[in-house]
Structure 1
């Protein structure tokens, strides 16, 4: 899983049209954010055509505002640069798998 630098996430999303799963997190988030990382790592190994990235929300203010993100963790799915789905707050693995499946099959 990639760790985004401070470059704009919108550019990263546009540069990866096959699909990007973005997790927005914060240093202070702790357990809710940390619990998602292993789940996303497993999904990443199962979906090699997708790019998974973790980004610090504090470095992505414009992206947060553009997508009306108000909480972390937030996981967002983009295909062809278009937002296909987003979920805020920690979820269990079954819910994340279901949500991802719905987004990718839409």
Structure 2
């Protein structure tokens, strides 16, 4: 019985320790929604707190393969800001899978990048561009 006494004393002491303080965490600054379907796309572009870049691409498209890493790099860089000062999200849409969604936004060339703000398309560019021009595009939206 004496061997159990220290355990009971420890358990009683642990009950008196205040619970750990919970910390408030903020939403991640940038999010990537890769290979988004229509539902994910609609939810992502409707975010009024961010500018959302939507990259319409296809797996067989070589210019798309050149542009995608540039977009991913720039949207994760904390120092890159949109012209409105809002944070950036990136949504990628495979046009071979989501052709109807691409048609809705008039995508006729790949890659096409459309910037959305407050749920509405505000600007776009077509084709692969070098990083410095993509930066300028982001700064303009």
- TM-score past 0.5 threshold: yes
What is the CA RMSD across the aligned residues, in angstroms?
1.9
Partner of 2:74: 43
Aligned length: 101
Question: Which of 25, 29, 42 is equivalent to 1:10?
Answer: 42
Task: Tell me whether 59-68 or 2-11 shows the greater mean CA deviation.
Answer: 2-11
TM-score (normalised: structure 2): 0.63
User: In structure 1, which of residues 22, 25, 28 is the aligned counterpart of residue 54 of structure 2?
Assistant: 22
Highest CA radius of gyration, 1 or 2?
2
Task: State the match for 2:108 in structure 1.
Answer: 70
Structure 1: unaligned runs, 5 residues or longer: none
Using the TM superposition, give the Cα deviation of residue 78 of structure 1 relative to its aligned residue in structure 2, in angstroms.
Answer: 0.4
Considering Cα pairs closer than 8 Å and 6+ residues apart, tell me whether 1 or 2 has the greater RCO.
1
Could you list the runs of 5+ residues in structure 2 that have no partner in the other structure?
A: 1-31, 82-86
Q: Does 1:58 align with 2:96?
A: yes
